[in-house]
Amino acid sequence: MKNIIKISIVNYLNSIPFRYGLENYNFDTKIELQKDIPSQCAYKLKMGLVDIGLIPVAAIPEIENAKIISNFCIGANGNVKTVALYSNQPVENISTIILDYHSRTSVQLARILALHKWKINPKWEKGEEGFEKNIDKEKAGVVIGDKTFAIENKYNFKYDLANEWKEMTSLPFVFACWVSNKELPVEFLRSLNSALEYGIMNIDASVDLYRKDICQISDDEAKKYLIENINYNLDNDKKRALDYYFKLSEKIISNPFIQ
């Protein structure tokens, strides 16, 4: 019996082209695809529960022997739409920011922006299920993922974190990469990249197949988001952005709310 390669993928709209590719590509090796929130992807890889994960980049330095294994990622070159700071006050008047518990990458990005771009020193609070409903005149919130579609026009101010990063650095941003912490067959890694590329080349089909399982927006909105807001190629500019993000992250004092 052949070994099964276990893969943890983020269960968000932005990853469904990857899911489509992985589930429709003819691998020689059997794979098992597990659908998780970003923090679970990182946890499962760190604990050896999966072989490959679509990992929030902030978690990569904490995974022993972590290696980026693909030319593809979840990134953005400007507005990403689904990672933002929501507030009823301008950012310079914000005193408290609630942090989304789904991914450390966006949380760390917000803290970098607070220090280097917005020049504010807010109180940070760890969000829990439904925390986005607690955003009010006193508190802002970093909200990520598909739940942002439901609050798109609910608050007075929205600061798209990828666009804020682009304004500050002139670089794109990388939210998650395909990572493994063990040696995998070279032929399988080639097939993995081919599968991911196949999915990206079939965005319309991926939306038609999976969108209704994930979020309640129209097919046209979903396709527009995946084509215009998400950028999947891990090119040299994104690698430079990753290096700079890690450099700035090292200067941020550890926060007990960030797990």
- Mean pLDDT across the chain, nearest whole number? 91
- Bridge pairing between strands 123-126 and 96-99: parallel
Q: Give, in order, the Cα–Cα distances in Å from 231 to each of 2, 7, 223.
A: 34, 21, 13
- Bridge pairing between strands 157-160 and 83-87: antiparallel
Please tell me which residue, 254 or 21, carries the higher pLDDT value.
Answer: 21
Q: Give, in order, the Cα–Cα distances in Å from 154 to each of 1, 48, 136.
A: 53, 40, 11
How far apart CA 117 and CA 131 sit, in angstroms, is 25
DSSP code of residue 114: I
How far apart CA 175 and CA 84 sit, in angstroms, is 13
Q: Are 86 and 132 in contact (CB under 8 A)?
A: yes
How far apart CA 24 and CA 20 sit, in angstroms, is 6
| pLDDT tens digits, 68-91 | 999 999 999 999 999 999 999 999
pLDDT class of 137 with cuts at 50, 70, 90: confident
Residue 256 reports pLDDT greater than 70:
no
Amino acid (1-letter code) at residue 230: I
Query: Which pTM was predicted?
Result: 0.91
| pLDDT tens digits, 189-201 | 999 999 999 999 9
pLDDT class of 2 with cuts at 50, 70, 90: low
Residue 258 reports pLDDT greater than 50:
no
| pLDDT tens digits, 35-54 | 998 889 999 999 999 999 99
